[in-house]
């Protein structure tokens, strides 16, 4: 019989990456089908909002390299769009699903963006970055 702490460590919390690990191979297709293609629209809307923030910040600050944190990056679609929109941006994507991250890494490599997008396994509740690490 395992101790209480070992049992707690083995429990999978709802919403953790385990659920998405099981659907990772079909996630992008299912997302497009279930949303009737609207997933592309909301991604574009979000990235345009990042662009608005960058433009406003640039008006008041000296130019600098944009550092973006993509929480729940999944298969890295948003990270890739941001990297393409902002050629000097460095993006870190975090997701609790190792299978989703594996697919994201393949997409990033295919887009030749591996030098600018890094993916890490992790949960949004426990990010391991110092304050002010991202714009």
Cβ-based neighbour number of residue 113 at 10 Å: 18
Quick one: pLDDT at residue 2?
Answer: 41
Distance CA 110, CA 122 (A): 23
pTM of the model: 0.75
User: At 63, is the secondary structure helix, strand, or coil?
Assistant: coil
| Strand locations in the chain (E) | 67-71, 90-95, 117-121
Q: What percent of the chain has pLDDT over 90?
A: 41
pLDDT at 62 over 60: no
pLDDT category of residue 57 using cuts at 50, 70 and 90: low
pLDDT tens-digit map of 16-56: 677 777 777 887 777 778 878 877 888 878 887 877 766 66
The separation between CA 49 and the C-alpha centre of its own chain, rounded to angstroms, equals 16
């Amino acid at each position: 019989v395992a101790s209480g702490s070992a049992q707690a460590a083995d429990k999978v919390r709802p919403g953790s990456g385990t659920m998405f690990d099981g659907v990772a191979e079909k996630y992008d297709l299912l997302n497009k089908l279930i949303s009737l293609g609207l997933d592309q629209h909301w991604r574009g809307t979000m990235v345009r909002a990042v662009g608005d923030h960058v433009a406003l910040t640039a008006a008041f600050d000296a130019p600098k390299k944009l550092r973006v944190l993509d929480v729940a990056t999944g298969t890295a679609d948003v990270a890739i769009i941001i990297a393409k929109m902002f050629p000097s941006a460095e993006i870190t994507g975090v997701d609790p699903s190792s299978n989703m991250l594996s697919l994201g890494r393949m997409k990033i490599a295919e887009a030749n963006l591996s030098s600018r997008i890094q993916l890490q396994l992790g949960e949004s509740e426990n990010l391991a970055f110092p304050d002010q690490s991202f714009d």
